[in-house]
Amino acid sequence: MIKRKFALGLSVMLAASTMLAACGSEEEATSGGSGGGEGAEETSDFSVAMVTDVGGVDDKSFNQSAWEGLQKFGEENGLKKGDGGIDYLQSGSDADYNTNLNNLIRRDFDVVFGIGFLMEGAVKEIAAQQPDAQIGIIDAVVDAPNVASVLFKEQEGAYLAGVAAALMTETKKIGFVGGMDIPVIERFEAGFKEGVKAVDESIVVDAQYTGAFDKAELGKSTAALMYDSGADIVFHAAGGTGNGVFTEAKERKEANPDENVWVIGVDADQYDEGQVGDANVTLTSVLKRVDQAVLDISNKAKEGNFPGGETTTYGLADDGVGLADSRGAIPDDVMAKIDEYKEKIASGEVTVPETLSE
């Protein structure tokens, strides 16, 4: 009887061993084995996600740039969209910020970014509630040990745009369309006006704020008033609202190809936004490398060096801001003058003010 039980137990053990071995072989075949093998894609289990502000992920501005940075991180680390990889949640209103941040943290993303100054309050609140979470905030400073704050010297890139506008205007009247009246947009305005002033103090800059980053119709109507009053170049720092500035300029160019109307884009290279038939109304764009910042912070976190409790600022000297290629809209001799100002800023010879009061 004892022998029979022993034999039966041995049979069960052998069968279980066989099944485990088979499962192991099948799992190795599926995953490619622990060694990876030649040609195997390198993957990482470090995941990153972001929450957009109300402008949305396709705002052709800083939200879109941030997502492009995460996509780059995903490509470099073999990550796909979704849990355990890279992802984003869009905010329909500011009421979604807290919910979206908590959602991504509960889904165990290693780093979660809040994109834009408008998310400052939500990030501060969630960081206190979730002390183990690693959170990044773009365009604002949150003083918390688990938050990496990211700022840009927007005023330096805007200064170069002001120089370009002052050298290219024919009417000596230029427009600035801001979104909400917040510090980051004031830096754009202050730098832009200072750049114009450095070239010609007699040039008039008409600055108007729409109070929103997601109202293209307000951007369009504001730009229309500026062009009607004689402005021939309008610089927008208004996110999705700025799309309306392009719409107004393109409609005018389409109606009268000889009309001299230009738009200076923001955050990303917005050349494609200015295409109207064979012409293009984009003079240049102020680049703000949110994509590079998101990629940089993500890589640091992956290496165990998440800069929590620190503020990282990107400027002209480290290519954090700059001007996009004008595609020939700005002549070479004018570009040479712009480059002279760029060198003065990068070397510290010229310090660009951050606020209008400066």
Supply the pLDDT for residue 42: 55
**Range 338-341, long-range pairs (CB < 8 A, 24+ positions):** 338/160, 338/163, 338/164, 338/167, 341/159, 341/160, 341/163, 341/195, 341/198
User: Residue 209 pairs with which residues in a beta bridge?
Assistant: 178
Q: Are 111 and 127 in contact (CB under 8 A)?
A: no
Closest to 282 in 3D by CA, of 322, 242, 337: 242
- Three-class SS of residue 246? helix
pLDDT mean over 125-143: 97
**Residue 174: beta bridge partners?**
205, 233
Residue 170 is predicted with a pLDDT of 98
Structure confidence at residue 166 as a pLDDT band (50, 70, 90): very high
pLDDT digits (tens, 9 = 90+) for 188-210: 999 999 999 999 999 999 999 99
pLDDT one-digit tens code per residue, 295-331 = 999 999 999 999 999 999 999 988 899 999 999 999 9
Res 91: pLDDT = 96
Q: What is the pLDDT of residue 210?
A: 98
- pLDDT above 70 for 341: yes
- Domain map (residue ranges) of the chain: 48-152+291-316, 154-285+328-347
- Evaluate whether the domain defined by 154-285+328-347 bears CATH number 3.40.50.2300: yes
Average pLDDT for 74-79: 97
Mean pLDDT value across the chain: 89
Token output for 114: 């809040």
Assigned CATH topology for domain 48-152+291-316: Rossmann fold (3.40.50)
Spatial separation of the C-alpha atoms in residues 327 and 325, rounded to whole Å:
6
